[in-house]
């Protein structure tokens, strides 16, 4: 007699933080014996983890919900868009349940109600690091939820609430579990990584028999000692960030800092409610490079923020030229439903925003290319991500997966994803590098 295994179609949209929520739900589903399906049709129930960061993301989430309802009919919505329960339920009255982000318990309850688990959960089916949606050799490690800032263009605090840090022992246990499951690179994420522990008053805990503070610096050090690559993302530029740079210089964590700066002009930064002193930032960048010359600096910026004049935009371009950042992402400002910045005067017309975005990217592309050119001839560690017909594709310590460039490696070596090789950089363009593997 054939036995029906209850199955869930899982769609995960949005940022790495949402991905971590998805992984936690999927791990629990697998633990209870549910099968996970990649499509709507073969699933009993579909769960959609949505995003609501910008209007395009809302649109994508709404479309996914509509498709799932048409093709399957039994749909549970979670994630940032789900925080606007009324809006979602009004658009889709037939949903089984709607929850906000970071609501694994509520999602599991809704699933139990509409699709009870099979008997006898097979806990042994779960690998020690839980179920990962990223390739097995790297994993996102979420250290906190929410944010205490109130940047005027952002609705994340309204969706996810104030900062809540995970206990440091829980984070360390998860990191250890991931590494023992084969993960070679940990990507530390949160809304505000450098604020870690603030809400707990940097509580001291015990891990491996030693005291360990719930704090950015101590956590970075402890994670670095586990032996995997540790990469810090979304590091708000507080002064205390300077303290982790020596850990990068000595090789405890990767010399990589993803520090969103958003703008350089004082008045725009003030209107954004962000730290408003570009001179200080430039001095700090200089100091970071003195302490750790190999540091890779990534940042994101918004162009065309309400009220931004041509002169203020020019100031941003001048900042880019002086700062010489390695990797930069930029967005044309787009109003997000519910954001305080919507009420600011002098919104910039769309064509000017797009023009500024292109000019911004042209300036940065030049800088990124020059930064990469400096590395030709060097021998660097490269982590292997995948193989294609011509060789391997990997990343250097300067490249975070999915957002930065890659390194193309020629040659027929016997390598697998997660292996780390030494390779000589031979060529570059504005984003990627080419390299030759060094025989050991």
Q: Does 161 bind ligand SF4 (CB under 6 A)?
A: no
CA 379 → CA 104, 367, 416, distances in Å? 44, 22, 20
The token duo for 403 is 């957002």
Distance of closest approach, residue 101 Cβ to ligand SF4, in angstroms: 12
- Decide whether 9 or 260 has the Cβ nearer to ligand SF4: 260
What is the distance between the alpha carbons of residues 213 and 330, in angstroms, rounded to a whole number?
A: 35
Q: Does 157 bind ligand SF4 (CB under 6 A)?
A: yes
Stretch that binds ligand SF4, among 84-92, 148-156, 168-176, 279-287 (CB under 6 A): 148-156
Distance of closest approach, residue 272 Cβ to ligand SF4, in angstroms: 8
Stretch that binds ligand SF4, among 145-153, 216-224, 278-286, 374-382 (CB under 6 A): 145-153
Distance of closest approach, residue 402 Cβ to ligand SF4, in angstroms: 19
Stretch that binds ligand SF4, among 122-130, 150-158, 196-204, 341-349 (CB under 6 A): 150-158
- Decide whether 143 or 437 has the Cβ nearer to ligand SF4: 143
Stretch that binds ligand SF4, among 33-41, 144-152, 276-284, 421-429 (CB under 6 A): 144-152
The token duo for 197 is 């522990």
Out of 21, 44, 192, 404, point to the residue binding ligand SF4 (CB under 6 A). 192
Q: Does 151 bind ligand SF4 (CB under 6 A)?
A: yes
Q: From the centroid of its chain, how far is CA 174?
A: 17
Distance of closest approach, residue 160 Cβ to ligand SF4, in angstroms: 8
DSSP SS3 for 70: helix
Q: Rounded to the nearest 5 degrees, what angle is found at the Cα of 9, between the Cα atoms of 12 and 62?
A: 50
Q: Does 154 bind ligand SF4 (CB under 6 A)?
A: yes
Distance of closest approach, residue 349 Cβ to ligand SF4, in angstroms: 24
- Decide whether 56 or 310 has the Cβ nearer to ligand SF4: 56
- Decide whether 156 or 325 has the Cβ nearer to ligand SF4: 156
Distance of closest approach, residue 236 Cβ to ligand SF4, in angstroms: 5
- Decide whether 234 or 408 has the Cβ nearer to ligand SF4: 234
Q: Rounded to the nearest 5 degrees, what angle is found at the Cα of 432, between the Cα atoms of 356 and 388?
A: 130
Q: Does 156 bind ligand SF4 (CB under 6 A)?
A: yes
Question: 3-state SS string over 235-276?
Answer: CCCCHHHHHHHHHHHCCCCCCEEECCCECCCHHHHHHHCCCC
Q: From the centroid of its chain, how far is CA 180?
A: 22
Shortest CA distance to 183 belongs to which of 22, 9, 23, 35? 23
Q: Rounded to the nearest 5 degrees, what angle is found at the Cα of 250, between the Cα atoms of 419 and 254?
A: 45
Q: Which residue is listed with tokens 């054939």?
A: 2
- Decide whether 149 or 347 has the Cβ nearer to ligand SF4: 149
Count Cβ neighbours within 10 Å for each residue of 97-114 and write b for 16 or more, e otherwise: bbbbbbbbebbbebbeee
Distance of closest approach, residue 251 Cβ to ligand SF4, in angstroms: 29
Out of 20, 46, 147, 316, point to the residue binding ligand SF4 (CB under 6 A). 147
Shortest CA distance to 43 belongs to which of 57, 26, 31, 61? 26
The token duo for 375 is 């590395």
Shortest CA distance to 156 belongs to which of 132, 192, 182? 192
8 A C-beta contact, residue 353 and residue 304: yes
Neighbouring-strand partners of residue 30: none
Stretch that binds ligand SF4, among 124-132, 154-162, 333-341, 403-411 (CB under 6 A): 154-162
Distance of closest approach, residue 298 Cβ to ligand SF4, in angstroms: 15
Distance of closest approach, residue 150 Cβ to ligand SF4, in angstroms: 6
Q: From the centroid of its chain, how far is CA 130?
A: 19
Q: Does 191 bind ligand SF4 (CB under 6 A)?
A: yes
What is the distance between the alpha carbons of residues 421 and 76, in angstroms, rounded to a whole number?
A: 43
Q: Does 114 bind ligand SF4 (CB under 6 A)?
A: no
- Decide whether 114 or 149 has the Cβ nearer to ligand SF4: 149
CB atoms closer than 10 angstroms to residue 133: 15
- Decide whether 56 or 225 has the Cβ nearer to ligand SF4: 56
Q: From the centroid of its chain, how far is CA 304?
A: 24
- H helices of 6-54, where? 16-31
Count of positions on this chain that bind ligand SF4 (CB under 6 A)? 10
Out of 10, 140, 236, 301, point to the residue binding ligand SF4 (CB under 6 A). 236
Stretch that binds ligand SF4, among 49-57, 109-117, 153-161, 178-186 (CB under 6 A): 153-161
Q: Rounded to the nearest 5 degrees, what angle is found at the Cα of 113, between the Cα atoms of 110 and 115?
A: 100
Q: Does 149 bind ligand SF4 (CB under 6 A)?
A: yes
- Decide whether 304 or 394 has the Cβ nearer to ligand SF4: 304
Interface positions with ligand SF4 (CB under 6 A): 147, 149-151, 154, 156-157, 191-192, 236
């Amino acid at each position: 007699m054939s036995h029906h295994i209850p199955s869930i179609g899982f769609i995960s949209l949005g940022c790495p933080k949402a991905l971590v929520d998805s992984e936690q739900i999927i791990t629990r589903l697998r633990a209870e014996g549910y099968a996970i399906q990649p499509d709507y049709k073969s699933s009993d129930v579909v769960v959609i983890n949505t995003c609501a960061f910008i209007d395009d993301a809302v649109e994508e989430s709404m479309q996914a919900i509509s498709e799932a309802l048409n093709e399957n009919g039994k749909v549970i919505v979670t994630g940032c868009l789900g925080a606007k329960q009324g809006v979602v339920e009004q658009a889709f009255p037939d949903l089984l349940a709607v929850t906000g982000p970071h609501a694994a318990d509520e999602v599991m309850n809704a699933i139990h109600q509409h699709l009870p688990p099979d008997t006898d959960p097979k806990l042994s089916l779960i690998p020690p690091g839980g179920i990962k949606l990223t390739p097995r050799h790297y994993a996102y490690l979420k250290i906190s939820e929410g944010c205490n800032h109130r940047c005027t263009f952002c609705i994340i605090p309204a969706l996810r609430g104030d900062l809540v840090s995970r206990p440091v022992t829980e984070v360390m246990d998860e990191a250890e579990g991931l590494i023992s499951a084969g993960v070679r690179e940990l990507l530390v994420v949160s809304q505000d990584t450098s604020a870690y522990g603030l809400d707990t008053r940097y509580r001291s805990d015990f891990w491996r028999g030693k005291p360990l503070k719930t704090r950015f610096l101590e956590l970075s050090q402890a994670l670095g000692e586990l032996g995997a690559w540790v990469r810090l993302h979304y590091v708000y530029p507080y002064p205390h960030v300077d303290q982790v740079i020596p850990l990068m210089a000595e090789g405890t964590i990767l010399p990589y800092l993803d520090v969103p700066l958003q703008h350089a002009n004082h008045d725009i930064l003030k209107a954004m409610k962000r730290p408003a002193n570009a001179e200080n930032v430039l001095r700090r960048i200089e100091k970071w490079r003195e302490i750790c010359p190999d540091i890779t600096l990534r940042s994101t910026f918004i162009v065309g923020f309400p009220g931004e004049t041509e002169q203020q935009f020019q100031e941003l371009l001048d900042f880019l030229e002086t700062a010489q950042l390695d990797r930069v992402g930029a967005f044309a400002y787009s109003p997000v439903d519910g954001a305080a910045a919507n009420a600011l005067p002098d919104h910039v017309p769309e064509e000017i925003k797009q023009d500024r975005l292109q000019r911004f990217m042209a300036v940065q592309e030049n800088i990124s290319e020059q930064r990469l050119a400096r590395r030709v001839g060097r021998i660097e560690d490269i982590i292997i991500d995948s193989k294609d017909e011509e060789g391997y594709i990997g990343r250097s310590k300067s490249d975070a997966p999915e957002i930065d460039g890659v390194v193309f490696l020629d040659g027929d070596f016997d390598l697998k994803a997660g292996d780390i090789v030494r390779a000589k950089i031979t060529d570059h363009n504005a984003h990627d590098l080419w390299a030759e593997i060094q025989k050991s």
